[in-house]
Amino acid sequence: MTLKDEWDRLDSETRKWFLDNPGCVMVPRTVAARIKQNSAGHIDVDGHGQMILSREDLDVIREKGTGMAADKAP
């Protein structure tokens, strides 16, 4: 599973969490659980239910955040 593939399936609260925390490499279990509920693919979590993001995932978050900022610019 990559965020690029799953982004449109994520609820708005989860997307906002990612955009508010663009440098976070470890996703808390509460957020990971929401992702698992909406995901079409398999979500890998550690023994604590947390999800570790890949470099590609972090790049997607930054791209989405940059796009959101550009949309709000006059």
Helix axes 12-20, 55-72, angle to 10 degrees: 100
- Signed CA dihedral, 37, 40, 42, 43: sign only: negative
* Per-residue model confidence (pLDDT) at position 73: 47
36 Cβ contact list (under 8 Å, min separation 6)? 43, 45
pLDDT (tens place) for every residue of the chain, 74 residues total: 788 888 999 999 999 999 999 989 999 999 999 998 888 777 888 999 999 999 999 999 999 998 765 455 45
The number of domains in the chain is 1
Q: How far apart are CA 12 and CA 56, in angstroms?
A: 21
Domain limits at 30? 3-72
Q: How far apart are CA 52 and CA 49, in angstroms?
A: 10
* Per-residue model confidence (pLDDT) at position 72: 52
* Per-residue model confidence (pLDDT) at position 68: 61
* Per-residue model confidence (pLDDT) at position 39: 82
